[in-house]
Chains A and B, each alone.
Chain A
Amino acid sequence: MPATKSVPDSHGRFGEFGRRFVPETLMQALEELTIEYEKAKQDPEFQSQLEHLLGTYVGRPSPFYFAERLTEHCGGAQIYFKREDLNHTGAHKINNTIGQALLTLRMGKKRVIAETGAGQHGVASATACARFGLECVVYMGAEDIRRQKLNVFLMRNMGAEVRPVHSGSKTLRDAVNEAMRDWMASVETTHYIIGSVIGPHPFPMMVRDFQSVIGSECRKQCLDALGRLPDEVIACVGGGSNAAGMFYPFVEDYDVKLTGVEAGGLGSAPGQHASPLTYGRPGVLHGSYSYVLQDDDGQTLDVHSVSAGLDYPGVGPEHSYWRDSGRVQYTMAEDHEAIQTYQLVAKLEGILPAVESSHAIAHAMKAARKRSADEVIVVCLSGRGDKDVAEIARITGQEF
């Protein structure tokens, strides 16, 4: 069966993936959220409010940019960037948090919780909450707080409370666990703004929808600029929200090749990478059924990536659906490739891509070399790389 855009069904199923594997305590809240979201989606006033904010506050549409010198350097297909790095707060995450903050207001809730790994979603949540006067609590692994001081500073200055999570591996997945726990006790007054296309239904669908503005704009921009659709669209995949938003509008354009790039880390051994779609198996994590990195007992495996935003053992269920239906090809880029690409794009284009996005560009360069000059590749440049400078300096031995 070819993949379709008409997913998920009313049970949150993307093919066999997705659904809800959560404690009974959350079921009613998820049901109510699904109903509220469906109403908002049909409501022209909600949609026009969202559109207005995306235009005047986020700075959309984001540019569709021809990376001319990178294209020349590779000597193959033309490489274009969809510039999500130019959004307010510097990444695609804000597309989702503005949408969910509006939904929070609509539901009459006053408090928001969020989880964050690298801090990008935390900053985007704190930003949206500041904009609407909502109370905001961000759960963040103690280890990540130490590594991402700048983002912690930004969140606190925008009035958010950053709560350190000391349990388990003290990273993103523990922050998700802690946020879900908070939500179980606070669901009547609180909305949980999940940061990626993960978790129980309706989150994977809702986050994809809010992020689809990326792909919808890009599709139109490409038609306007070039008079045709691209040959290939490439995005990096951690939980998979920028990729889901980029790919979804192209899913039924079957001639457009879609490629997701996971974090290959240091290599293929367990614990050295964060590539569930490449090395993992279907299983249950964080409330949904999808590809996951687990041992033979179902315990989540440790993951590694130079990029904190891709450092996650699971992936959104729609990606699993796209993988198994063959609609999207998934591959990976390793740490060193991402770092080299970061440095190269800075010199050739005057753009510092986030180290996450650098994974996608690294693969785009390989793909471009195998294609002819009249073919077109579009990469989602999901965020800017300022947040990564200290880490890049450390790894490459530069003064900072």
Chain B
Amino acid sequence: MAQTRRLRLPPREELLFRTLLILGIIVGLIIAALPFLWMAVSSLGTAGMVIRIGFTWDMFNPLNWSLEPYVVAWKMASISKYIRTTTIYAVAVTVLATTTSSLAGYVFGRLRFPARDFLFGLVLATMMIPGSVTFLPLFILMLRLPLLGGNDIFGAGGHGLYNSYAGLILPNVVSASSIFLFRQFFRTLPKDLEDAARIDGCSEPMIWLRVIMPLSGPVVTVVALFQFQGSWNAFVWPLVMSSSERLYTISVGMYSLAYGSGSLTSMAELFQSVLLAGSVMAVLPILILFIAFQRQFVQGIALTGLK
């Protein structure tokens, strides 16, 4: 049946439909990819060329490309510092949040204990509270934590965890949606898996580590990827939590560069290319990760419905 259909010459209407379809796909591809290509090509411009001339076909000639904007961005515009901070932040958040969330997902999905449903309901309820509602009171909380960062017992006098890695990372050590995802997955594993281990005297954390986690590679990958991607791109929280350049993540650093609070304003000739070079470097790690783990990213979206 399918064979005969394929052998039959497509009628006029079918041909028109296919042409439109391919055209649509190409237009979509251009819309999605053009800003990236334009950004990359413009970031390779030599001094003055990009900002004065803008678009010329010469830009696409590799002989005209220069890595000078990248050198300037990396050395003088502190991109290397931002990348370092962002890496520390993103790796710490990914490791901590994946661990705490999978432990909690294991407990909620497979153990029985009093108040389980209430506590899990609480976790679900926190999923609807977004960071844009909490970042201000959270900032005050971190600033006024008692006995930390020079604060007295009433939280006065010092600056608590403000402008520190601990302050950046702590509020992100767990993710409610990841707990949910882990729980859903762990519930599908057969129950007798861990009973044998339990009778042999294995403790719960050992069962989680030795029995459950080795079976959960795909879901761990999905959670870790989204944690990393989210914290790599994080903006609001690092913005309000850091006052020194040392703690700027790449997004905060790029923002400060774009609005001239960095050390770059004097080099107007290269400014645009350097900004774009910085943006390329902000996007590149995620791009590489996406190419390596595309299937997991796409599955993750289908699984969680998160955007």
Bound pair: A and B?
A: no
Q: Which A residues contact B (CB, under 8 angstroms)?
A: none
